[in-house]
């Protein structure tokens, strides 16, 4: 088995007196694709946001490539440059072209030369099928296109781990496919990913491991086939039965 | 010497006789308004950004303390300036520096300082509002690729804030042109001061003030037209061209 890239130990998060995450414990190994399932409010998104420190965890620690991540701004930024994140609402920079959106991180965070950053940008824009649109502004694109650009932007940082926070939830049904195809290609290329999603079939197809969360705890975790076809916990069965029609 | 008898006769007479003074006054007014707006906007952007600084719990304690102190100073500055009239500020600065520190500053310099500080306070509130109005996703998008707070502000947030504030900057400039008139109380020789001096000779108040009204109007109207054009241009292209790939397609 390959070495763990990310370990989450006893992670806790509360907003005021409301506990959103309770003692979360799991690890991600190189090359794994992990899907996180659960109903709204189960803490899936908060878990991802805590991993990337967009929310400050209230307790516990995150170990990345063997070293605990500190909250000092410098360490935090470095950690984030190694871990990509794709949002539900794309969050592309509104004042920059598609090309600039992808280029800027490689250039000013990873300190790549202009030529290197350009090569990376073109490579990944082609990979997501958006190189033709490189001069467009985000506002001029459809949702699916924006999300593909957002994925390219994350890839241009050459991350060792990619986090997806419900990447298709804000998309029209006919655009979901194009984004899922891109994620599938990434999985095939061996990218390590954690995907929070509501696309059950997709999760079953693509994942090497599935985590089911409910009320801020990990209820069950296992191989997709086992978890989908033979769930052990009552809550998992209940959740999955709602998706089977 | 024969004096005119009609209203227009007097207007014509005054313009002919004093056009140099009107123009000089106009020049000073424009200088005050332009420099005051530029410096005021710079000050406003700095203060607005300081007031919007988030206090990162992960940063060092001395830095957090420093940011808090800066924010308190910025808040006091904005509140004090907004709660006092421009004319009073001009008097306090001009006579205050003289009686307290014995520094005799030129009234023109005092005028520029007062204009800048005054505009800065109002501008900073607009800047703060505009920063707060940017979708938080823009900040998160930058954070997610490891950009520092400063980098995100410089490359992502402030360009959008600036573009959104151009109409506001235009407004500020237009009111600055008119606000310069109160600086006559510290003997800045701007347009209103020029008019007041001219009325002292022939006691033709109505005619003189009509003349400067027209000058103020033409000035501000032209400026707001120019700003409209500028705003349109800065909006950027509404269309984009697809970049044709040579080989990949087909």
Contact between B124 and B44 under an 8 Å Cβ cutoff? The reply is yes
Q: Collect all residues of chain A within an 8 Å Cβ-Cβ radius of residue B60.
A: 72
Best A64, A77, A124 member to test B by mutation, with max B CBs in 10 Å, is A77
Q: Look at residue B236 and tell me whether its pLDDT is greater than 80.
A: no
ipTM: 0.92
Using the 8-state DSSP alphabet, how is residue B242 labeled?
A: P
Q: Collect all residues of chain A within an 8 Å Cβ-Cβ radius of residue B241.
A: 135
Q: How many Å is the Cα radius of gyration of chain A?
A: 18
Q: Please, which pLDDT band fits residue B138 given cuts at 50, 70 and 90? A: very high
**What's residue A71's pLDDT?**
86
- Closest by alpha carbon to A212, among A188, A245, A170, A242? A242
Q: Is residue B250 part of a domain?
A: no
Q: Collect all residues of chain B within an 8 Å Cβ-Cβ radius of residue A72.
A: 58-60
Exposed / middle / buried, residue A50 (Cβ in 10 Å: 0-12, 13-18, 19+): buried
Coil, helix or strand at residue A215: coil
- Alpha helix positions (H), chain B: 7-52, 61-82, 86-101, 107-133, 136-144, 149-152, 158-179, 191-202, 205-234
Q: Look at residue B185 and tell me whether its pLDDT is greater than 70.
A: yes
Q: Which residue of A has its CA nearest to B246?
A: A132
Highest averaged pLDDT of the listed ranges A15-24, A108-117, B101-110, B230-239: A108-117
Strand partners, A221: A211
Reported pTM: 0.87
User: What CATH number has the domain bearing residue B166?
Assistant: 1.10.3720.10
Structure token pair of residue A199: 């696309």
Work out how many CB contacts closer than 8 A connect A with B.
101
Residues 6+ away with beta carbon under 8 Å from A236: A212, A219, A220, A227
Average pLDDT of A78-101?
95
CB neighbourhood size of B154 (10 A): 13
Work out how many domains chain B is built from and give that number: 1
**What's residue B80's pLDDT?**
96
**What's residue B245's pLDDT?**
61
Residues 6+ away with beta carbon under 8 Å from B236: A137
Q: Look at residue A239 and tell me whether its pLDDT is greater than 50.
A: yes
Q: What are phi and psi of B59, to 5 degrees?
A: -80, 170
Q: Look at residue A2 and tell me whether its pLDDT is greater than 80.
A: no
Q: Look at residue B126 and tell me whether its pLDDT is greater than 70.
A: yes
> Residue B79, CB half-sphere, CA atoms under 13 Å: how many?
7
Average pLDDT in chain A: 93
Q: Which residue of B has its CA nearest to A77?
A: B146
Average pLDDT in chain B: 89
The b-or-e profile of B100-121 (16+ CB within 10 A means b, else e) is: eeeeeeebbebbbbbbbbbbbb
Structure token pair of residue B118: 């005054």
Q: Are strands A193-196 and A161-165 parallel, antiparallel or unpaired?
A: parallel
Q: Is residue B3 part of a domain?
A: no
Tell me, yes or no, if A134 comes closer than 8 A to chain B by beta carbon: yes
Q: Is residue B61 part of a domain?
A: yes
**What's residue A192's pLDDT?**
96
Q: Please, which pLDDT band fits residue B249 given cuts at 50, 70 and 90? A: very low
Helix (H) or strand (E) holding A229: helix A224-229
**Chain segment B187-210, per-residue pLDDT in tens:** 888 889 888 888 888 888 888 899
Residue B129: domain span:
14-235
**Chain segment A145-167, per-residue pLDDT in tens:** 999 999 999 999 999 999 999 99
Q: Is residue B179 part of a domain?
A: yes
**Chain segment A104-131, per-residue pLDDT in tens:** 999 999 999 999 999 999 999 999 999 9
Average pLDDT of B140-168?
94
Separation CA A85–CA A88 (nearest Å)? 10
Q: Is residue B143 part of a domain?
A: yes
Q: Look at residue B248 and tell me whether its pLDDT is greater than 60.
A: no
**What's residue A11's pLDDT?**
94
C-alpha distances out from residue B146 to A73, A94, B63, B142, Å: 10, 18, 20, 7
Q: Which residue of A has its CA nearest to B136?
A: A91
């Amino acid at each position: 088995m390959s070495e763990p890239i990310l370990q989450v130990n006893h992670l806790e998060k509360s907003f005021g007196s409301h506990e959103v995450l309770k003692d979360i414990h799991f690890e991600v190994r190189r090359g794994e694709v992990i899907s996180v399932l659960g109903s709204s409010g189960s803490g899936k998104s908060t878990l991802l946001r805590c991993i990337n420190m967009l929310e400050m965890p209230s307790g516990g620690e995150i170990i990345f490539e063997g070293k605990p991540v500190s909250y000092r701004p410098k360490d935090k930024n470095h950690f984030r440059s190694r871990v990509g994140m794709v949002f539900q609402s794309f969050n592309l920079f509104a004042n920059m072209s598609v090309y600039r959106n992808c280029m800027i991180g490689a250039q000013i965070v990873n300190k790549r030369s202009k030529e290197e950053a350009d090569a990376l940008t073109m490579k990944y824009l082609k990979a997501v099928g958006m190189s033709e649109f490189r001069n467009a502004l985000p506002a001029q694109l459809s949702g699916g296109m924006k999300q593909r650009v957002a994925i390219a932007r994350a890839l241009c940082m050459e991350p060792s781990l990619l986090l997806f926070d419900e990447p298709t939830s804000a998309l029209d049904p006919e655009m979901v496919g194009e984004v899922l195809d891109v994620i599938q290609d990434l999985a095939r290329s061996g990218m390590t990913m954690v995907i929070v999603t509501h696309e059950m079939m997709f999760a079953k197809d693509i994942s090497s491991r599935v985590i089911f969360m409910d009320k801020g705890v990990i209820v069950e975790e296992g191989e997709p086939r086992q978890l989908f076809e033979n769930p052990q916990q009552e809550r998992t069965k209940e959740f999955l039965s709602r998706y089977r029609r | 010497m024969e004096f005119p008898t009609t209203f227009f006769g007097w207007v014509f007479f005054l313009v002919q006789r004093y056009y140099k003074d009107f123009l000089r006054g106009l020049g000073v007014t424009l200088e005050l308004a332009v420099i005051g707006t530029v410096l005021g906007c710079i000050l406003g952007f700095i203060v607005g950004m300081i007031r919007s600084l988030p206090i990162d719990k992960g940063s060092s304690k001395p830095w957090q303390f420093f940011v808090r102190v800066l924010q308190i100073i910025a808040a006091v500055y904005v509140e004090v300036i907004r709660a006092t009239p421009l004319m009073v500020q001009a008097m306090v600065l001009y006579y205050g520096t003289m009686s307290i520190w014995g520094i005799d500053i030129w009234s023109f310099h005092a005028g520029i300082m007062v204009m800048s500080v005054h505009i800065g306070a109002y501008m900073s509130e607009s800047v703060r509002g505009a920063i707060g109005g940017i979708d938080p996703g823009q900040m998160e998008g930058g954070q997610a690729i490891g950009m520092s707070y400063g980098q995100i502000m410089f490359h992502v947030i402030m360009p959008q804030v600036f573009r959104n504030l151009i109409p506001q900057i235009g407004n500020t400039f237009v009111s600055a042109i008119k606000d310069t008139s109160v600086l006559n109380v510290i003997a800045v020789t701007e347009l209103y001061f020029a008019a007041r001096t001219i009325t002292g000779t022939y006691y033709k108040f109505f005619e003189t003030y009509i003349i400067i009204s027209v000058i103020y109007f033409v000035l501000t109207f032209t400026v707001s037209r120019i700003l409209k054009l500028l705003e349109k241009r800065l909006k950027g292209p509404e269309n984009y061209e697809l970049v044709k790939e040579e080989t990949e397609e087909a």
